Amino acid sequence: MATDSTTTAPIPDPAAADQVENSTAEQDINPWSVTGAQDESGEVAAIDYLNLAKKWNTSLIDEKVLERFERVTGHKPHRWLRRGLFFSHRDFDKILDKYEKGEPFFLYTGRGPSSGSLHLGHTIPLQFTRWLQEVFDVPLVFMLTDDEKALFKDSLTFEEVLHFGMENAKDIIALGYDVKKTFIYSDLKYVGGHMLMNAWEFSKLVTFNQVRGAFGFNESTNIGKIFFPSLQCVAAFGTSYPEIWTDEPMQERSKLIASIPCLIPMGIDQDPYFRLLRDNSSRMKNPSPKPALIHSKFLTALQGPGGKMSSSNPNSAIFMTDTPKQIKTKINKYAFSGGQETLEQHRELGGNPDVDVAYIYLTYFEEDDEKLKSIYDSYKSGELLTGELKKLAVELLQKNVAEFQEKRKEVTDEVLAEFMRPRKLESRATTQVQKLLEEAEAKAKLAVRPKKK
């Protein structure tokens, strides 16, 4: 097994380190905002992911899942799996079954372009998706929900979000996706044909009561918002993409394509959409299996583990456009510290890495398990000082962002156009689908052949 408990640094568990008693507001996690529970004095506690998984009835990713993943794929689990940062799932085991049997599935994820640049938090599910694509060799469809952002943010126009979407798509490409296996699309430009037909059909199955329950909508909610979840949901149906499976686009929405399972990596805030989908996917004319989901924790806001890094609060986030100096200033000025007030106290009592934002960032970006563990231990013992810990985080993030910016320069308009061109995608899974389609066609021909007298 790849995970070696003697060298793996402890995963920060801020919720355990900071139990809230008599909390007066529960934590609130939804696709548009994320806040930790609040106690009587207004202190915001760390997000309690175990509680969330329990409340939403998701399955935790445990050693058993990781062992099976390694056995089936032959790949060591990604450090974000080993460290519990991707911590929860729905039916991921069924995807492993499919992979083991050599049966096809595909990946779907997305981004709502609310600003012109991604922040470091967005890159977590996106980099992880790229890694899954490499491991499984499957097609990926990538939805840019420009429509969602204009509908949900009064200050944004449809023209602005369309522009942000194109900039974000270049960022996404710079994360290293394989163009042969990846189709990126803007809802405002692509949605029509089979995908729109799926969305209308899906919307016919879902009542206002259901979306109100899932998203807290009310009678004053604009009707665009009420319909939008249909679109984010049907993006998980293979039939929404008539171009990606065969040389010629499919003429009809096919039962066989609808039956191909989908795996959706995401931050856990997106789960409410896909609960709605899982409840209704089998009710479509061409039924689809419940999509499998894999959930990440949020890369915390600079201010601490009670909130997520978010574009709507620029001081909470490190953007992928930030300069080395901006990164240094943000970490030094805003990153919540688990260190003690004075040097003497720190040496005597030690720091608390579990709540320290610089340490938490290291858990995401430091590949070396042993090095991470030694940083954890030496901060906890008081040997490593806050300034020194922050320096380590600054250097690692500066390197990560600078490498990204170099790759981003290579993404020209032509490269972007190719990723966004509806076309057949190439992968092990696509070949498996083609074989299934040919077999189905041969069977259908046999069935219509007149019997010999």
Residues that bind ligand TYM (CB under 6 A): 31, 109-112, 121-122, 124-125, 143, 145, 148, 232, 235, 264, 266-267, 269-270, 296, 298-299, 308-309
Q: Of 141 and 375, which CB lies nearer to ligand TYM in the complex structure?
A: 141
Shortest reach from residue 452's CB to ligand TYM, in Å = 52
The span from the CA of 126 to the CA of 131, in Å, is 9
Stretch (H or E) spanning 182: strand 182-186
CB 356 within 8 A of CB 339: yes
Q: Of 14 and 351, which CB lies nearer to ligand TYM in the complex structure?
A: 14
Of 105, 122, 104, the closest CA to residue 113 belongs to: 122
The span from the CA of 212 to the CA of 218, in Å, is 6
CB 177 within 8 A of CB 133: yes
The span from the CA of 99 to the CA of 101, in Å, is 5
Q: Of 111 and 290, which CB lies nearer to ligand TYM in the complex structure?
A: 111
Shortest reach from residue 294's CB to ligand TYM, in Å = 10
Of 271, 277, 313, 308, the closest CA to residue 124 belongs to: 308
Specify the residue for token string 């191909």.
Answer: 260
CB 294 within 8 A of CB 247: no
Shortest reach from residue 40's CB to ligand TYM, in Å = 27
CB 75 within 8 A of CB 97: no
- What DSSP designation does 57 have? T
Q: Of 144 and 384, which CB lies nearer to ligand TYM in the complex structure?
A: 144
Q: Of 46 and 264, which CB lies nearer to ligand TYM in the complex structure?
A: 264
Sheet of 33-35, strand order: 28-30, 33-35, 304-308, 300-301
Shortest reach from residue 118's CB to ligand TYM, in Å = 8
Shortest reach from residue 235's CB to ligand TYM, in Å = 6
Shortest reach from residue 229's CB to ligand TYM, in Å = 9
Q: Of 211 and 266, which CB lies nearer to ligand TYM in the complex structure?
A: 266
Shortest reach from residue 353's CB to ligand TYM, in Å = 19
Residues with Cβ within 8 Å of residue 371, at least 6 apart in sequence:
none
Q: Of 38 and 186, which CB lies nearer to ligand TYM in the complex structure?
A: 186
